[in-house]
Every structure is written in C-alpha cells, then in structure tokens.
A and B are shown apart, each in its own frame.
Chain A
Amino acid sequence: MNKDEKILKNFTSKDYEHGWSTDIDVDQAPNGLNEDIIKLISKKKNEPNWLLKWRLDAFSKFKKMKSPNWANLKIPKIDFQKISYYSAPKQKSKLKSLKDVDPEILKTFEKLGISLKEQERLSGVAVDAVIDSVSIGTTFKEQLSELGIIFCSFSEAVEEHPELIKKYLGMVVPKNDNYFAALNSAVFSDGSFCYIPKGVRCPMELSTYFRINAANTGQFERTLIIADDNSYVSYLEGCTAPMRDENQLHAAVVEIFAGENAEVKYSTIQNWYPGDKNGKGGIFNFVTKRGICYGDYSKISWTQVETGSAITWKYPSCILKGHHSKGEFYSVAVTNNYQQADTGTKMIHIGKNTISKIISKGISAGFSQNSYRGQVRVMKRATESRNFSQCDSLLLGNNCGAHTFPYIDVENKSSIIEHEATTSKIGEDQMFYCLQRGIDEENAVALIVNGYAKEVFNQLPMEFSVEASKLLSLTLEGSVG
C-alpha cells in the first residue's frame, strides 16, 4: 500500500458519530402494512375522517404501483410487511411544554448537539424535534405565534388548522406521485407544519430534527411549508439514526408552497446512518421533496448536504409556475464505502421569465456510486426563461463511480439553457501547492474538498455551514486521490 492509499484509507474509514441509540419506552405498532395499520395510525393521531379516507385512497393507489427501477441504484427488495409503521416514545399525558418531555429524550437531543432547553433560551433557532414517528417538542412556539406564524408538528396542525391542511396537503406532491410518496401518504406519522402569513418575514430559522431510534421501524414524516404572499422563511432539517445491522426505510415527503413574492429557503443536512464499512445496514433514504413557486416573483431555494444513508433517492424539485419566479438547487452529495446516491433536481419552467440555477457537487470515495440526475424542462409558455446548471464530480480513489444524467427539454425559442459538468480527481498541482506551503496531505485534501463544496456551503445558514464543513471533513477524512 503506498502512502497515498494509506492516507486515503485513514481518511475514509472514520466511524459514524451518531450511531448510539436511546433506551426509552416506546409505543410501537405491530409490523406489517395493511388497512388496519393505517386506521390505527389515524386513530392514534385523532385524525378527522377525511384524512383517513385520504390515507386509504393513497394506500389503494400504492398497491397498484411498482417500485421505481430507473435510478442508477441497486436496491435490495424491501419487505414492507416487516416494517413497523408507527413508533413513538410513550407519553403519559399530553405535553404542555418542554418541561414535561421525558428527560431521556431531551438527553438524546443534547447528545446530538441539539439541546432543546438551551435552544429555548439562547439561540435564534426554533426547533421541532421528531423522534421515530412523533414530534417531541417545538421550541419558540409562542414568540412565533405572536407574528401569526404557525410552526408545529403535523398532527397538531391537523387538529388545530384542518382548513390549511385540507387545502394544501397533496397539492405539490399528489398522493399517487410516485411509489414512495404514495406509501408515505398512506402511513405518514408526523412531521412539521409551517405557515407564514402574508407579509411576514420569519425572524428566526425554523428547524426540524429527525431521529430514527427504534429498530425495525420506518420513518415516514411529512413536512408542509406554506409561505403566503410577500413572506420569507428559512427552514433547516437535520437527521441521524443509530447504527443497526438491518436496513431501515425512511420515506418522507416535503411540500413547499410559495405565494406571490414569497421566498422559502430549505436547507438539509442529511446524516442518516450510512451502514458500516462493508455496506451492511444503513438507512434507505427515499424522499420526495418538491416546491411550487405558485405566485409571481416567488422563490424557492433548496440546499442539501447529503453525507449519510446507505441509499439515497432524492430529487428536491421546483415547479416554477408564477411569472418571474426563481428556483435554486445547491447540493453537495458525499458517498463513501458502499453508499449509493442518486440525487438531483427537477426544474419545471411554466411561467414566463422564470429563472433556475443548479449547482451540484458530488464527491465519491471508497466503493460508492454517486449519481446526479436532473431535469430542466422549459415549457412552450415559459418564454424568456433562463437556466444555468453545473454539476461537478470529484473522485477519491479508483473503486468508486460518478455519474451524471441531465435531461434538458426545451420547447420555445427565447429561453437560454446552459449546462456544464466535469469529473476529475484532486489535481496533483493543487496538492503540491498546499504541501509546499507546509500543509500536510490530510489537511490539504480537506481544504481542497471544502473549497470545492464552498459554493454550496455558502448558501447554508451560518450554524449549519460550520456543521456541514465539519461533517464533510469527518466523512472524508484521509482521501487523497
């Protein structure tokens, strides 16, 4: 083994940090997927009848669908009957405030670096913490409600704001949109709900933290963000899971609605358990995320840092319906060991003068496969539209793969589309430059990789940006090409 390979190996063999699990009493539904389970979930959540009907309808559609096989992924067959679709920490009574939350759970989040108590006092981030299937607590609720902002768990929103849920649920991602979205629509357990009223600029970052804890469960959360006319919100999402030998399924749906002149910024740091060095275990992350720029001059921006999951299948998309609306997608996807990622975006230009921008940076190491799959579609009506896409791949080591599948469909003569992509390794000249300035190889790689991903990190809110760049160096520690 030469020196380069050694450093590469050290760098790429770092263990998963959040692999522990918490011992808490859970209320778990029996394994299996059938109508009774859906009814059980619905009952546990005190849901109105229409929502149960909606779930059952989604389930009947799901049964007719087939698992998608077009992605550049090798997905082992998932036995949907072996998964428990509902798991929640046992609660004695309804929680009034964070003080009533089980201290064991609070400790869990503290260990993850998200102290709910501290958050409440100090920083300017409102957090909704979701463990397994249920939202544990939401901070800063009162302050936000003074501005008319609704930020709560999905089940709470179903009870308190059924009119909003009824209007917007399934508007962007219909229940039969795809296989995993249909599954989610049938069995979704909880998630976050957020409504920003007209003309309000949300003063703090809203954040949801997802944690899978129990074994043999799937997590199916549903997030709905509605930004009414002239509003602004920045939303963060983070996720981790314990180390387990079997694969766990995470099939979430995120829907974003942006009214006229509204702006939504959605950032994700995805750090689900990626499986061990031999590719055993890990989370299957099959997520449908889509936003609609419904009103004129609206804007949706997706930023994602994908470091975890055994398999990622995720395409945060924008439907640019309003004239002059804007969609952005910034992504850093890192795969190591035997991870597989097929991720990218869709930009559907419908309104006039719509603008979209795609910056995707893929980094593959170990034996992993990393794919970018994106579509830019300019409809006939979307005159004078503009798109710029850039998707770069960095290969660390010669056992991994980087793939790009961009689809570009243009149907009018006044739009301008540009797409560019490159694939390479870290340049010898770049390494040499760092080394001769006294930076050791490991730090040089970290420096270069961070620089490579900087364009995306700059889009993240400050706290997240620091975390992301730390996470990146950890995941890739030791990679010299």
Chain B
Amino acid sequence: MIKDFTSIKKNISKETNSILKTKKTKVFDSLDDVLKTYKEEYKYSPLLRKVSKKFDILRVDSFKEKKKNIDKKILNQYKNQYSIITINGLFQKNESKIPNGISVNTFDKLNNTDKKFFHKFFNNQDDSKSDIFTSINTINYKESLLIKIDKNYSKKDHVNILNFIISNSGESINHIRKLIVSNQNSKSVFIEEFISLDSIENFSTSVTEIIQEENSEIEYLNIQNDKNNFHFNSINISQKQNSISNCFTFSYSGALVRNNLNVKLKEKNCYSNMYGFYALREKSHVDNHTTVDHIDENSISNEHYKGIMDNNSNGVFNGKIFVRRKAQKTNAFQSNNNILLSDEAKINTKPQLEIWADDVKCSHGCTVGQLDKEAIFYLQSRGISKEKAISMLLGAFSEEIIEKIENQFIKEKIKKITYKKLEYFTS
C-alpha cells in the first residue's frame, strides 16, 4: 500500500490558479490525517491496496488533450436527450446537448464572477476528515466542471451525465470532477453513467459536489455497470433551507466499486432521500458508504438500500446518521435489506447512528436473509418455472427502490436494466 504521496505534489505545482493551488496544497498537507481513517473506512474494501498494485495511481498526467471519438452507435442511444459528455474526465462541449437554464463550463473557461462563485463552493469540506480518494482526485483531476442550474429552472426532462472512459489510449486512470450548484427554487433531474468503451481494466474516481440553495430540488441517479472497473465515486451534497435531494445509486457490476454519499443538511426543513440498489454476481464488489449529517432543526432524512448478492460477490453497506445537538425535531430513518443467494457471497453491513440531540426520532433496521421458499413454491405450483419464479421475486424486491424514482422515463429505463440483470440470478 502507498504510504508516501510526495510524488503527486508535482501536480499541484502545475496548477496555475493561485486559489486552487492553496486549496490543493491544504489537501496535500492533510493526506496523512486522512490516511489514518482509511483502515476503518475501508475495512471490507481494500481499494487502495488493490488499485495501487495494478495502477500507478499517483502518476502525474500530462494536461494535453488528445482528440478521441466515441462510436456514434453508443451516442445514438441518447439521441434527443439532454446530455453532458466527458471523455476520460474531459468535457466534450460539441457532443453535449445542454438545456437552456443550465450552464456547463470547465473552470478555465469561466469568467471572473463565475470563478469567484466556483471558489466559494469548491472543495469546502474539512480536508482532514476527507476520504483518501477524494483527496487524490482533488489534487490530480485534469479538468473541473461547473454545472450551474438557474433560479426557477424546472424542466421535466432529465439531463444525462455520460462519463466515457477509453483506456486503450494508455490512460487507465481518470479523475472526474464536478461542482453542481442548484440555485433557488430550481428543480432538476440528472442521471450519471460511467461507461468504459473497451474491456481494459481501469481505475476512475469521480467526485461530485452538489450545492443546493433554498427551495431547490434535485434528483440525482447513478448507474454503475462496468465489469472491469475499479471505481471510486463520491457525491457530496450540501443543502440549505427547504431543499430536497433524492439520490439513487444502482450498482450492477464492478471489480471494486466504492460509493460515498455524504449529505449535509445545513439548514432547517431539509429533506433528503437516499436510495440504493445493488445486484451483484461473479466477483463483483460494491461498497456503499453513506453519511447524513443533521446540523439544523426539523429536517428529515430517509435512507433505504437493498441488495442481492450471488456467486462470489461481496456487498458492503455502511450508513451513518449524525444528529448534532442543534438538530432537534429530526426524523432520520435508515434501512438495509440483503439477500444472499450463494454460500460464497458475502455481506458486511454496519448501520450506524450517532446522536447528540434528544428530541429526535431515529431508527435503523438491517436484515440479511434469503427468498421465501414458500413464495417460490407458490409460483411454481402455478406453473411458473423455478428460475422465472426467483427472478420475479427478486424483481419485486428491487421494485421498492425503483418505484421511488419520480421521473417516468428514467424509471422505465432502470426497470429494464434491472430486470435484464436479474434474469441471470437463478440458483
């Protein structure tokens, strides 16, 4: 495992913007502290050890952009839809189609007011309590994207964020960085996908910061379906008064995938929903770590993660709820249900509550079990084959999460992907 990070210091010296440079230096200086939390945070997912064996994760990348092309067939799937496209972490303005009311720009292209705006929100977390991969991402990303949603924006259509990864050009490590600011009273829907265009093993980190101003609402979905992908994904949401966030994470495959979802309910009357569904086969390993931090009064958080593990797959869930002293009248719920289909599959789950306020209602529940034999028998007695019966029941299990998606188009899309995946789950 890597203990010495000095080599990435070179990347900081390449940074031309002085404010970013100081921010990055600060991140670098706290790396040692961050590494101290690694042991417990990555107890079941030795991501750093695994990727540092396979990839030179501290490599200093050249900032030069090579022209890459994506197969038209793939892009045609997203025809007539709004989409923000990146290749290996670099924004492709010409391929993207962005609705009015949302502006997307890389940091370099921002005007001075927007730059100020960017600095105000970019990487505003406590660095020493950060995550090691978030820190590496902050230091090593090539391009950061600012996605700004205007006040009162409320188009029903969703926006795809498509992150293509092309490894055969010799870049198997990619750091994707985004800052999304959702202004007052706006309402938007994003669906993010990570797509490798070749079957070469690759490692990618993606850090997304979402700032929600008053009364804004955002639905953010994440789909992971890459077999050879070592992936670290961190979504950090910070909510102001009366804002609503709905986050979904769907994981179907991945060599080792780690999802961090951190939600800070900074002001009163926030509402946060976090949903996740993971259906894993073969040697997939998916780790979902979520944190909700109730800082002020009267907020509600609701979390539900469900998972199915088959073959040699390994699922990890860790949900943390913090309720600070000031956050009276908080309601926080958390639930995690798992189905194990094979004796080789594993689940490690840790639903965690930390509460300092007394007038709260908090609960968490967690189950590990299997499909009801009687339900399978019932279906079989109606002439349905066992395989079909199992996938029906698993489908019903997934539905509870999928039904929570508000956007009809996306709901249908996810349903299709899920049911197709579940057909293989028959033991």
Contacts and interface: CB of A to CB of B under 8 A. Distances in A.
Interface stretch (B147-155, B198-206, B366-374, B378-386): B366-374
Contacts of A400: 356, 358
Interface string B342-353: 111111111111
B354 interface: yes
A167 interface: no
Contact of B360 (A406, A414, A419, A424): A424
A407 B358 contact: no
A431 interface: no
A169 B393 CA distance: 51
A409 B347 CA distance: 6
A477 to B, nearest CB: 18
A416 interface: yes
A421 B352 CA distance: 9
Nearest to A403: B354
B364 A418 contact: no
Contacts of B340: 410, 412-413, 415
A408 B348 contact: yes
Contacts of B328: 398
Nearest to A409: B348
Contacts of A423: 353, 355, 360-363
A396 B358 contact: yes
A407 B348 contact: yes
A401 B350 contact: no
B: contact size bracket? 35 or more
Contact of A406 (B350, B361, B367): B350
A244 to B, nearest CB: 30
A: contact size bracket? 35 or more
B355 A413 contact: no
Contacts of B338: 410
Contacts, number: 118
Contacts of A393: 353, 355
B40 interface: yes
Nearest to B326: A398
Contacts of B354: 401, 403-404
A395 B368 contact: no
Nearest to A419: B366
A421 B363 contact: yes
B170 interface: no
B325 interface: yes
Main secondary structure, interface of B, reads strand
A413 B368 CA distance: 9
B353 A417 contact: no
A82 interface: no
Contact of B352 (A70, A396, A406, A420): A406
Contact of B365 (A409, A410, A421, A425): A421
A420 B358 contact: no
B176 interface: no
A398 to B, nearest CB: 5
B15 to A, nearest CB: 36
A419 B352 contact: no
Nearest to A412: B343
Contacts of A396: 358
Contacts of B343: 380, 383, 411-414
A393 B362 CA distance: 10
Interface in A171-210: none
Contact of B358 (A380, A395, A411, A414): A395
Contacts of A170: none
Q: Which of B353, B354, B357 has the most CB of A within 10 A?
A: B353
Given A402-B353, A402-B355, A423-B355, A410 B368 contact: yes
Contact of A418 (B353, B355, B367): B367
Contacts of B349: 407-409
A413 B310 CA distance: 9
Nearest to B343: A412
A481 B361 CA distance: 13
Nearest to A376: B368
Contacts of B366: 406, 408, 417-420
A425 B353 contact: no
Nearest to A369: B356
Interface in B80-107: none
A405 B319 CA distance: 10
A424 B355 CA distance: 10
A2 interface: no
A93 interface: no
A97 interface: no
Interface string A415-444: 111111111110000000000000000000
Contacts of A414: 343, 370
Contacts of B356: 398, 400-401
Contacts of B345: 411, 413
Q: Which of B328, B342, B354, B370 has the most CB of A within 10 A?
A: B354
Given A398-B359, A402-B355, A403-B354, 5 more contacts: A395-B355, A400-B358, A416-B369, A419-B351, A425-B360
5 contacts: A403-B353, A404-B354, A410-B338, A410-B368, A416-B368
Interface of B: 40, 325, 328, 338, 340-370
